[in-house]
Every structure is written in structure tokens, then in C-alpha cells.
Amino acid sequence: MVSQSGVERNSINGPAISRLLYQREEGSLEHDSKLERLLERTKNSKASRREELETRGKD
């Protein structure tokens, strides 16, 4: 289950993640483990949220 604070935290990080992705594409940012962790956490949170909504729909 995704807590409300987790959803809010990811929405706040959205612009920062987008900026880091852009910098990486432009070549001004080398491999960044912090960026990779943020992307993975965001992806996992979205997947968990989707599963939670699907489960609610089946009830």
C-alpha cells in the first residue's frame, strides 16, 4: 500500500527527476546512482498505487 505521503513525495520529486533526466540526455550528467534510485522508487510507487486501485475496484 502506498501512503499518502509517499505519493506526495514523488509528485514533488517529479520536476527534479525530469531535470536530472534532461541533464543526463544532454551529456552534462554522468551516471548518477541517486537519480537511478529516484527513478526506481517512483516506478515502484506508481506500480504499487496502480495495484492498490485495481484491488479496490475488485471489492
Amino acid sitting at position 28: S
Q: What pLDDT shows up at residue 12?
A: 52
pTM over 0.75: no
Q: 2-56: per-residue pLDDT in tens?
A: 444 444 444 556 777 777 777 777 777 666 677 777 777 877 777 788 888 888 7
In our burial notation (b when 16+ CB lie closer than 10 A, e otherwise), range 43-54 reads eebeeeeeeeee
Per-residue pLDDT tens digits for 27-41 = 776 666 777 777 778
- Per the CB < 8 A criterion, the answer to whether 2 and 48 are in contact is yes
**Number of domains forming the structure of the chain:** 1
> Which range of residues forms the domain containing residue 28?
4-58
3-state secondary structure at position 59: coil
CA distances from 43 to 15, 26, 27, 28, 40 (A): 15, 23, 23, 24, 5
Q: Which residues contact 53 (CB under 8 A, 6 or more apart)?
A: none
| Residue 56: predicted pLDDT | 79
